[in-house]
């Protein structure tokens, strides 16, 4: 057994923005530092906030260091292009929208490579962990919006009329490909799976001021370059049943070239047996309940909300639920 290949968990890195709060503590039981906390980066190889392994022989090493050490054994052959760039492919975070976020859009890989010093683009998905009654997201545009009418509304300070409101509840999954106008509104907690990028074009900030008393910077021209004006009044991603047997239910809740995400629901004492065969790593995040990851070594215990990274070379593994549980399963498609 290779002592450096085992299910990895990480110490989160917390980030503060003006829209954050304490809901990761009060609603999810996270131990937080003092003050506002907007985001918990749970699995991150991004240079601005790399996470450190907190279990096993590799504890204390950052994800970029693990990528250097383990290479294909960590990410798998499907992620070879990212490995050649020295980047872990994905980033997993939790967001507390105690107040609404700015209206944003992210570029695709080609635009980011050209305009953001070779950075990746950003396609992402949101899984709603908690939503207050009446909560909604901004996702896409209303009918009839054009680049010209969008810019006019921005200049008039009334972009709201162009923005599609999508009501959401806990358990909804929303796929946000690059080019999608979006904003997380107040009263929502989200788990986010995304490309390993922090490239964001802020379009509109509700005419509010930042912590320094000044308006936060906008990136209107770049945003208008990349907005997909054909994304009109979209809905949540429709779950697609993959498997249902022996108390286990798997649903595909995002499909993209960068990552697939499944929602896996376990009855008490049900199990999923999988294989990391060298083609891709897997990320398993427990959203509710309690469970464990069995492999050839000591099982890794997980309680909600917690994510684990299974290296591509791990081999056989088994997810078991001690009590009814819901997991997110993430992998790079072939």
From 202, 249, 306, 329, active-site residue: 202
Any residues with CB less than 8 A from the CB of 6 and at least 6 apart, and which? 56, 57, 295, 297, 300, 311, 314
Determine the Cα–Cα distance for residues 185 and 195; give it in Å rounded to an integer: 22
**Does residue 202 have an active-site annotation?**
yes
Nearest alpha carbon to residue 176 among 263, 119, 258, 85: 258
Helix (H, G, I), strand (E, B) or coil at 279: coil
Q: How far is CA 10 from CA 50, 53, 130, in A?
A: 10, 4, 23
Structure tokens at 205: 């900030």
Exposure of 7 in the CB half-sphere (CA atoms within 13 A) = 24
Phi first, then psi: give them for residue 223, nearest 5 degrees: -60, -45
Chain-centroid distance, C-alpha 133:
23
CA end-to-end distance (rounded Å), the chain: 27
Q: How far is CA 100 from CA 19, 194, 277, in A?
A: 6, 20, 42
Give yes or no for a contact between 270 and 310, defined as CB atoms under 8 angstroms apart: no
Exposure of 70 in the CB half-sphere (CA atoms within 13 A) = 29
Which residues are tagged catalytic?
Answer: 202
């Amino acid at each position: 057994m290779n002592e450096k290949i085992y299910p990895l968990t990480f110490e989160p890195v917390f980030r503060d923005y003006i829209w954050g709060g304490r809901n990761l503590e009060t609603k999810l039981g996270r131990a937080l530092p003092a003050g506002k906390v907007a985001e918990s980066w749970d699995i991150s190889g991004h240079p601005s906030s790399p996470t450190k392994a907190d279990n096993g022989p590799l504890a204390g090493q950052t994800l970029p260091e693990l990528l250097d050490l383990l290479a294909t054994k960590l990410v798998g052959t499907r992620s070879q292009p990212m490995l050649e760039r020295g980047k872990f492919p994905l980033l997993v975070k939790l967001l507390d929208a105690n107040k609404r976020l700015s209206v944003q859009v992210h570029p695709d890989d080609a635009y980011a490579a050209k305009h953001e010093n070779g950075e990746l683009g950003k396609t992402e998905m949101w899984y709603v962990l908690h939503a207050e009654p009446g909560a909604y997201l901004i996702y896409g545009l209303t009918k009839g919006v054009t680049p010209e009418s969008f810019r006019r509304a921005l200049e008039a300070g009334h972009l709201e009329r162009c923005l599609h409101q999508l009501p959401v509840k806990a358990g909804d999954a929303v796929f946000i490909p690059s080019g999608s106008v979006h904003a997380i509104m107040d009263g929502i907690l989200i788990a986010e799976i995304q490309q390993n990028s922090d490239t964001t074009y802020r379009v509109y900030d509700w005419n509010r001021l930042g912590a320094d008393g000044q308006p936060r910077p906008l990136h209107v021209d770049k945003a208008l370059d990349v907005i997909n004006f054909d994304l009109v009044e979209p809905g949540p991603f429709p779950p697609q049943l993959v498997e249902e047997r022996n108390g286990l239910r798997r649903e595909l809740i995002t499909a993209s070239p960068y990552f697939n995400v499944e929602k896996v629901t376990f009855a008490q004492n049900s199990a999923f047996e999988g294989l990391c065969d060298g083609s891709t790593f897997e990320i398993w995040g427990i959203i509710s309940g309690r469970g464990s990851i069995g492999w050839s070594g000591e099982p890794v215990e997980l309680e909600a909300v917690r994510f684990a990274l299974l290296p591509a070379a791990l081999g056989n593994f088994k997810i078991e639920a001690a009590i009814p549980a819901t997991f997110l399963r993430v992998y790079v498609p072939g």
